[in-house]
Amino acid sequence: MKKLAIVVTLAAGLGIGSFAGVQAKLPPAPPKSDADKAVETEKAAASKAKEAELNNKYMDKAVANYKKNKGIADPKTSPATTSGKKK
């Protein structure tokens, strides 16, 4: 009987503690300064530029791979004649 009371007390304490932890509110984050905002926008712009560069690189790589595997040759221009004669 005494063991049952200890187990029930521990279970009730655990339940109340977890309920209180779920209901607790965190303090609001401090507002960002202008310098922090500027750094954040600069980082976002740099990451966007890098992402666009990588996207273009991999698109070119995919096109080259497609052409290589499909046997599509790049159009070649005819060599220029130096004799000046027309056919």
pLDDT score for 70 = 83
pLDDT digits (tens, 9 = 90+) for 1-60: 889 999 999 999 999 989 888 888 888 888 989 999 999 999 999 999 999 999 999 999
Identify the pLDDT of residue 37: 92
- Cβ proximity of 74 and 68 under 8 Å: no
* Residue position matching structure tokens 């954040």: 40
For the chain, the straight-line distance linking the first and the last C-alpha, in angstroms and rounded, comes to: 114
The full DSSP string for 10-48 is: HHHHHHHHHHHHHH--PPPPPPPPHHHHHHHHHHHHHHH
* Residue 40 confidence (pLDDT): 94
For residues 52-74, give the mean pLDDT.
Answer: 88
